[in-house]
Structure 1
Amino acid sequence: MAPETQETVQRTPLFDMFAPATYEEWRAAAEKTLKGAPFEKRLITKTYEQILLQPIYNAGDIADLPHINSLPGFAPFVRDTRILGPLVERWQVAQELPYPTTTEVRQALQADLPRGLTALNLPLDQATRLGIDPDSAAPTQVGMGGVSLATLDDARRLLTDLDLSRLSLAINTGAQAMPVATLLLIAAEEQGLNPSQLHGWLGADPLGALAADGSLPGSLDRCYDLLAEWTRWAIAYAPHVRTIVVSSHVYHNSGAHAVQELGCALATGVAYLRAMQERGLSVNEVAPRIQFTCSVGSQFFLEVARLRAARMLWARIVSAFDGDDTAQRMHLHVRTSAWTKTRYDVYNNMLRATGEAMAAVMGGAQSIHISHFDEAWGLPDEFSRRIARNLHIILQEECNFFRLIDPPGGSWAVEKLTDEIAAKAWEFFQAIERQGGMAAALQAGMPQAAIAATRAERFDAIAHRREVIVGVNMYPNLNEKLPEVRQIDHVQLHTARAVDLRHARETRADDVCQSALIELAQQRTMTAALAAGRAGATLGEMSCALVAADSAAPQVTPLPAHRAAEQFEALRATADAYTARTGRRPSVFLANMGPISQHKARADFATNFFAAGGFAVIGNDGFATVEEAAAAALAANAEIVTICSTDETYPDIVPALTHAIKSQRPETTVVLAGYPTDFIDMYRAAGIDEFIHLRANCYETLARLQRLKGVAD
């Protein structure tokens, strides 16, 4: 090549060598490859949020978006609330420690703090969140979901040798914060720690508690009064502690899609802003003390866009309340989804959590909990904690994600999705506002009904296997070894905690304590709460004093927690129980007809189909004649026989083979793989009991067969 020619080539920008293609030209080429199939049906995907995911995006899709030229650290904060994103301050490694006793939590902290944990993410058990002492609670409430915290001794055991000036707090106290905060503040004070040294969040979420439990320990007004008092005290004495939590986990875990979850979070945040303003606090005092926590699911780009949209919409809301730039900055904690985690093939949960954690990082989360892979079974062990914790470290140190500020920013797809999610979440938020706000909407059942509809849609897609859960409704492994289950003996724990409470009451000056509780009931201040705590009052006693002489507590329909895999897991569990009871797994014999090329596709389909319900599938390389197939099927002694071949061969095979089997064993269920529409009636008349095919409801079919064959009651 001549020197001048080489220089010319080197100076030519790479893409200038190719003629640019318009969207219309690309679409024409794409439609040609579809060979007549509708473009909209094959290449455009409708999400549960009713967003149409396009196969390709271009610059025109984002040209008119108002946020597109914004910068990190500047309103509307879509790109991050910090100018340098995670470069200066990495996301907190805020792993939940869901153990039922303070001793077990301490053991986990001692193991995990030297190995990367940077926050005390402390889930509280149901009794603690409801403000009930464990000896007054139902046994199932004690240790359910987290630690039982009821006495000052509990708080002392928890915080022994912990440097809370360096360890960030991450504690959602439920409907009331003051009793929990009182115990922890006194224990920290005894270790020489000033409240001004604390940071993170130690806050209440009354509306989230109402949605989850269906009731509150007191009236919503009283909960707001106490929240305002705790916030006012923290502004004066613990300025780095956020006191109000907006948690949307309850909506996510009930099956809500991203728009519904975000809309509920925004409406809850607005309710808290209004309630605190009514009690004398300004928006610039309140908004910086609100901690948002949400779950991130499996739809990677949608979830990244949702987190970006959340910051943008919250900034819009706080601005409408005349909040300044500092007040408009959302504090965002993310946990990877509990909805997506499975009990079977649990190591796949590591992969699910990895994708979800990456979405949280790229969406700008400031602290993250990554699910333990065995979360759906019960308490994590050291191994599952280590894997989840190390994923943070890998994302930071090996992937260098902390060096990236809003990495998807400018992406045509992500920016367009951010705008679409923001618009739809705003619509859902406005629908809640038209109900009178979040509390009124919950009492009217509006969010519950909308989320129930989405949950039903999700379960239907999973049942039909349009939504795939690897290892559960597709590609199940019936030979897997299930993990060791670490569950709580609630009765034993309840008894032990009752002993702890009796000891706490016996060793205090009861007259002093009762006097302090009377003072607390009259004043309902943090000063009075701290005095009661120092006098030995328990969490339940303080909670009762704070809601004394209160009006009736609200009652709503609670949002039930679910997981995507639970229906198919129930089928597997039923089949496993049958196997343990009878000594043999319920079985399906595949009557594969003809050479492998003729039956393989449907045989593979049938194997996957039945294994999802816990059925053992007996395969083979195919039979040349009906007689051979019938003899083999009868010899296998299987409860179900499934015929696998092609639609073209079925007219000659199905009637004869079905008759040969049922004439010898009438109770055998004969299934046909496929759904040859023109012959359905004929095959049913010949004795076919079920048809399995791509459009079949796999879950309902398997449940029906389990009942028919005595596997299920």
Structure 2
Amino acid sequence: MPDTPRPASVSFSEFEPVSTAAWQARIARDLKGADPATLRWQTPDGFMLDPFYHREALEALPEPPTPQVRPSATGSSWRNVPSYSVPAGERGHATILRAAEALTRGADGAHFVVADATAFDVEFLHAHLPLDTTYVGYSLTNAPAAFIQRLLDTGISELHGFLQHDPISNHLHNFKGQLQELREALTLTQHMPNFRALTLHTAFFGNRGATVTQQVAFALATAAAYLSELPTEALPIANVAAAMRVHVAINPNYFFEIAKLRGLRRLWVTLLHAYGLPPETAQVPLWAETSSWSQTTLDAHTNLLRVTTEAMSAVLGGADALSVRPFDCLFHDPNEFSDRLARNLSVLLREEVGLGQVQDAAAGSYYLETLTDTLAREAWTLFQKIEAKGGLPAAIGLVMQELHEAAQAQFRRIATGEQVVVGTNKFQNTREHFDFNPKRLLRSREFDSTRATYPSEVLRLATSLHFERREKKRKRAAVVLLGSHTNQLIEESFLRLLPDQEQADLHESHPVGTLSVLLSSTEEAILMYATPEQFGRFARYIYRIADDDTTFVPPVLITADLATMQEAVRVFGFQEFTVQGYSTEDVLARLQGK
């Protein structure tokens, strides 16, 4: 139209362009003679990053970066999909009603983690969330094909949503039988374009401390295994690829998480090309969920801040579905308050922040494009290493060893304060009053012990029990299992709290592979260590469990009268945890901030 205003120039011509050399000269001047190379830092993934990137960084990439497109029916936006757990033996009625209510308040779908697929009431589900129009996801550990058939028996012709049943990532038994179950589930749904029946549970690795490079590599290795094993004459490889989506956990490392999703999309095209599939079929949907690995029980409202940055990373990285964990889900039953906050975060990012109005906000960023390329190359190298060892599941030992080393490195960084966890190892609220029962939480089998801050938290919760018990003068004692590999973490955490001139020499007397335990009574709290076998026999003795009972799993928290506990500790040979020059009470008080 002739009266349409012309767009104004956005080249900022009034400012002279600044060259890379000019920026480097300014950095050198600001450093007052220090070497700019000292600002380079090594990432947990093992590669170096520079403190400064300019347009030459894009020119150094193998090919010019192009914006990435979110392969979603929602266009440039994403689906807000809260997750709900349905415990074993429950039909799920209350959970289904919660999900139905959420759909009227900003949710775009629902994801059910179903412990018992045979008990879940699909008829009730269809009555309240019509399955032919509602986006619903299901995570199962058994009988996926039978479950899909039950959904179809409600009278619908097509499902919307996804199925997550990943025997490789979840280490399920009878792999060949599980593959056949998956084939049947894929066959039932392969003509349903709005349902993805092969969701890879890569979040398993992200929620156990894997680096971003490892998460991408493990996702590719899992996908390669299914692309190699699942296709048949009745189930072509193109249909297997079309059924895939990837479930990823998002942690607080903001830029790395953005680059992780972008790098995964890029490598997915390469992977499918290796299987002879064209690029137009290689757009994989990414379902992102805020991480359980990064959540804390200490100063728990900081979880609200963590999930905010995690959700933004997921959206900017191109996730087509997002699940936000309630900030108190580690220690509280589901409740309307935290559910609403979690659900509204995604709504706020879309409706108020406007992040759904662009496809790839990171496109063209010198730093993010370089980081995406670096992560992709590192992940592809690790993927090839896994394939050289026979691929998955044959190379699962290599994968778990890589995962273990990455998690232990992160535990050490948190213990020494190198990696800050606000409210847990820095800026602690020493006067915090828990709005949950620490004793009940430690006894709960549902308490997530796979998280980054678990060693720090369980020590704090256990010593809180001691101080509480001392105030109440109860004539009972408790032994709390702090976990394996925590002796060194406790030492390092304690040393970090001492002035330099008070640094103590440590007794190197804690054998590798021992468990850290805490004996707490009204009179004293003693840190000790024991072998797994010692602790197992100790627990059996306290609870009078027969040695031939193979179903018994020692609990985290064991209680008894003081005399019995002290005698059992002596008989079963627990050794006191010592730091030269300091008593156990000194160590605990320092770690507690008392």
| TM-score for the superposition, normalised by structure 1 | 0.63
Task: Tell me how far apart the structure 2 counterparts of residues 376 and 703 of structure 1 sit (CA, whole Å).
Answer: 32
Structure number with the bigger relative contact order (C-alpha 8 A, sep ≥ 6) is 1
Task: Tell me how far apart the structure 1 counterparts of residues 74 and 63 of structure 2 sit (CA, whole Å).
Answer: 22
SS of equivalent to 1:201: strand
1:576 correspondence with 2:464: yes
SS of equivalent to 2:209: coil
TM superposition shift of 1:278: 4.9
- Cα-to-partner distance string for 1:576-632 (whole Å, 9 max, x where unaligned): 1111111299xxxxxxxxxxxxxxxxxxxxxxxx9x98x9xxxxxxxxxxxxxxxxx
> In structure 2, which of residues 101, 107, 110 is the aligned counterpart of residue 111 of structure 1?
101
Contact 2:113 2:139 in 1 (8 A): yes
> Compared with structure 1, are the counterparts of its residues 370 and 301 closer, same or farther at alpha carbon in structure 2 (3 Å cutoff)?
same
SS of equivalent to 2:360: coil
Q: Which runs of 5+ in 2 are unaligned?
A: 1-7, 474-489, 506-528, 530-576, 590-594
> In structure 1, which of residues 35, 56, 59 is the aligned counterpart of residue 52 of structure 2?
56
Contact 2:439 2:465 in 1 (8 A): no
Task: Tell me how far apart the structure 2 counterparts of residues 281 and 459 of structure 1 sit (CA, whole Å).
Answer: 44
Which residue of structure 1 lines up, in the alignment, with residue 275 of structure 2? 321
TM superposition shift of 1:463: 0.8
| TM-score for the superposition, normalised by structure 2 | 0.75
Which residue of structure 2 lines up, in the alignment, with residue 93 of structure 1? 80
Contact 1:177 1:204 in 2 (8 A): yes
TM superposition shift of 1:181: 2.0
> In structure 2, which of residues 125, 145, 157 is the aligned counterpart of residue 195 of structure 1?
157
> Compared with structure 1, are the counterparts of its residues 206 and 486 closer, same or farther at alpha carbon in structure 2 (3 Å cutoff)?
farther
> Compared with structure 1, are the counterparts of its residues 347 and 12 closer, same or farther at alpha carbon in structure 2 (3 Å cutoff)?
closer
> Compared with structure 1, are the counterparts of its residues 37 and 409 closer, same or farther at alpha carbon in structure 2 (3 Å cutoff)?
same
SS of equivalent to 2:83: coil
TM superposition shift of 1:46: 1.5
- Cα-to-partner distance string for 1:477-499 (whole Å, 9 max, x where unaligned): 1222323479999x999xxxxxx
Task: Tell me how far apart the structure 2 counterparts of residues 11 and 116 of structure 1 sit (CA, whole Å).
Answer: 38
1:301 correspondence with 2:249: no
Instruction: Report the residue type matching 2:80 in the other structure.
Output: V
Q: 1:156-555, aligned counterparts within 5 Å?
A: 156-174=123-141, 176-186=143-153, 188-189=154-155, 194-196=156-158, 198-210=159-171, 215-216=172-173, 218=174, 220-236=175-191, 238-278=192-232, 280-442=234-396, 445-484=397-436
Task: Tell me how far apart the structure 2 counterparts of residues 14 and 481 of structure 1 sit (CA, whole Å).
Answer: 54
Task: Tell me how far apart the structure 2 counterparts of residues 405 and 205 of structure 1 sit (CA, whole Å).
Answer: 29
Which residue of structure 1 lines up, in the alignment, with residue 43 of structure 2? 47
Task: Tell me how far apart the structure 1 counterparts of residues 34 and 180 of structure 2 sit (CA, whole Å).
Answer: 61
Which residue of structure 2 lines up, in the alignment, with residue 30 of structure 1? 27
> In structure 1, which of residues 673, 688, 692 is the aligned counterpart of residue 499 of structure 2?
673
Instruction: Report the residue type matching 1:291 in the other structure.
Output: R
> Compared with structure 1, are the counterparts of its residues 159 and 274 closer, same or farther at alpha carbon in structure 2 (3 Å cutoff)?
same
Q: 1:650-689, aligned counterparts within 5 Å?
A: 673-675=499-501
Task: Tell me how far apart the structure 2 counterparts of residues 369 and 355 of structure 1 sit (CA, whole Å).
Answer: 13
SS of equivalent to 2:278: coil
More helix by share: 1
SS of equivalent to 1:207: coil
Contact 1:92 1:366 in 2 (8 A): yes
Instruction: Report the residue type matching 2:56 in the other structure.
Output: G
Q: 1:606-685, aligned counterparts within 5 Å?
A: 673-675=499-501
> Compared with structure 1, are the counterparts of its residues 492 and 356 closer, same or farther at alpha carbon in structure 2 (3 Å cutoff)?
closer
Task: Tell me how far apart the structure 2 counterparts of residues 21 and 452 of structure 1 sit (CA, whole Å).
Answer: 45
Count of aligned pairs between the two proteins: 487
SS of equivalent to 1:439: coil
Instruction: Report the residue type matching 1:226 in the other structure.
Output: E
Coordinate RMSD, CA, aligned = 3.5
Task: Tell me how far apart the structure 2 counterparts of residues 458 and 308 of structure 1 sit (CA, whole Å).
Answer: 24
Contact 2:257 2:313 in 1 (8 A): yes
Which residue of structure 2 lines up, in the alignment, with residue 155 of structure 1? 122
> Compared with structure 1, are the counterparts of its residues 461 and 36 closer, same or farther at alpha carbon in structure 2 (3 Å cutoff)?
farther
TM superposition shift of 1:81: 4.2
- Cα-to-partner distance string for 1:428-462 (whole Å, 9 max, x where unaligned): 110110011110101xx101111111111111111
Instruction: Report the residue type matching 2:119 in the other structure.
Output: T
> Compared with structure 1, are the counterparts of its residues 430 and 15 closer, same or farther at alpha carbon in structure 2 (3 Å cutoff)?
same
> Compared with structure 1, are the counterparts of its residues 11 and 47 closer, same or farther at alpha carbon in structure 2 (3 Å cutoff)?
closer
TM superposition shift of 1:50: 1.7
- Cα-to-partner distance string for 1:140-178 (whole Å, 9 max, x where unaligned): xxxxxxxxx4237x3333433222222112112235411
> Compared with structure 1, are the counterparts of its residues 39 and 583 closer, same or farther at alpha carbon in structure 2 (3 Å cutoff)?
farther
Contact 1:297 1:336 in 2 (8 A): yes
Contact 2:290 2:324 in 1 (8 A): yes
> Compared with structure 1, are the counterparts of its residues 487 and 329 closer, same or farther at alpha carbon in structure 2 (3 Å cutoff)?
farther
Instruction: Report the residue type matching 1:565 in the other structure.
Output: T
> In structure 2, which of residues 558, 581, 584 is the aligned counterpart of residue 707 of structure 1?
584
> Compared with structure 1, are the counterparts of its residues 86 and 28 closer, same or farther at alpha carbon in structure 2 (3 Å cutoff)?
farther
SS of equivalent to 1:333: strand
> Compared with structure 1, are the counterparts of its residues 703 and 282 closer, same or farther at alpha carbon in structure 2 (3 Å cutoff)?
farther
Contact 1:172 1:205 in 2 (8 A): no
Contact 1:268 1:438 in 2 (8 A): yes
> Compared with structure 1, are the counterparts of its residues 86 and 584 closer, same or farther at alpha carbon in structure 2 (3 Å cutoff)?
farther
Task: Tell me how far apart the structure 2 counterparts of residues 359 and 296 of structure 1 sit (CA, whole Å).
Answer: 8
Contact 1:86 1:405 in 2 (8 A): no
> Compared with structure 1, are the counterparts of its residues 164 and 578 closer, same or farther at alpha carbon in structure 2 (3 Å cutoff)?
same
TM superposition shift of 1:352: 0.4
Contact 2:208 2:403 in 1 (8 A): yes
Which residue of structure 1 lines up, in the alignment, with residue 114 of structure 2? 124
SS of equivalent to 1:26: helix
TM superposition shift of 1:12: 12
Contact 1:151 1:183 in 2 (8 A): no
Task: Tell me how far apart the structure 1 counterparts of residues 107 and 132 of structure 2 sit (CA, whole Å).
Answer: 14
> Compared with structure 1, are the counterparts of its residues 703 and 432 closer, same or farther at alpha carbon in structure 2 (3 Å cutoff)?
farther
* Greater radius of gyration (CA): 1
- Cα-to-partner distance string for 1:299-337 (whole Å, 9 max, x where unaligned): 111111110111111111112212134421101100011
Task: Tell me how far apart the structure 2 counterparts of residues 259 and 672 of structure 1 sit (CA, whole Å).
Answer: 35
Q: Which runs of 5+ in 1 are unaligned?
A: 1-9, 72-78, 129-148, 494-559, 586-609, 616-641, 643-670, 682-699
1:65 correspondence with 2:61: yes
> Compared with structure 1, are the counterparts of its residues 710 and 420 closer, same or farther at alpha carbon in structure 2 (3 Å cutoff)?
closer
